[in-house]
């Protein structure tokens, strides 16, 4: 995945190799987005010193709204202007938004949202490997 961040810089998912990554497909316009962002911030604050990163792909229809919502977030926020027709949604077989995946330090996709019972525990385990 290679998409622009809020400043227009292309950011590659592959640049996060060597870290445990939560690949997150989302839309800030969703009603539950604010609460979810707070949960992600807690995970990020706890695990980023241990090599954890979030690569968040926004599929919002309104690019300006996305930029406003993500401008103060500490993780990688990128924007896919193709929204629901994104090639990355098809590639990762995303059927609902939000959806997330965990990638280990070697860059291997190790789990998708439906396979994870305890996200915090799984991230802790991957960070300590």
pLDDT digits (tens, 9 = 90+) for 60-83: 999 999 999 998 999 999 999 999
Residues 101-123 have a mean pLDDT of 92
The answer, yes or no, to whether residue 129 has pLDDT greater than 80, is: no
Q: Which residues of 45-59 are buried (b: 16+ CB within 10 A; e: fewer)?
A: eebbeebbbbbbbbb
pLDDT the model gives residue 116: 84
Q: Give the residue-averaged pLDDT of 44-55.
A: 96
pLDDT of 117 higher than 90: no
* Mean pLDDT for the stretch of residues 95-124: 92
Judge whether 78 and 70 are in contact, CB under 8 Å: no
* 108 closest CA partner among 9, 17, 1: 17
Q: Which residues pair with 31 in a beta bridge?
A: none
Please tell me the predicted confidence (pLDDT) of residue 115.
79
pLDDT score of 108:
94
- Answer whether 55's CB lies under 8 Å from 1's CB: yes
């Amino acid at each position: 995945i290679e998409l622009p961040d809020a400043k227009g810089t292309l950011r590659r998912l592959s640049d996060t190799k060597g870290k445990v990554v939560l690949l997150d497909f989302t839309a800030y316009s969703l009603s539950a987005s604010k609460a979810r962002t707070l949960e992600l911030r807690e995970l990020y604050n706890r695990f980023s010193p241990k090599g954890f990163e979030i690569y968040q792909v926004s599929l919002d229809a309104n690019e300006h709204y996305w930029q406003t919502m993500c401008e103060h977030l500490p993780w990688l926020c990128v924007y896919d202007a193709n929204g629901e027709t994104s090639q990355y949604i098809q590639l990762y077989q995303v059927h609902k938004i939000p959806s997330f995946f965990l990638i280990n330090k070697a860059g291997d996709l190790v789990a998708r949202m439906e396979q994870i019972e305890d996200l915090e525990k799984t991230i802790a385990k991957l960070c300590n490997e």
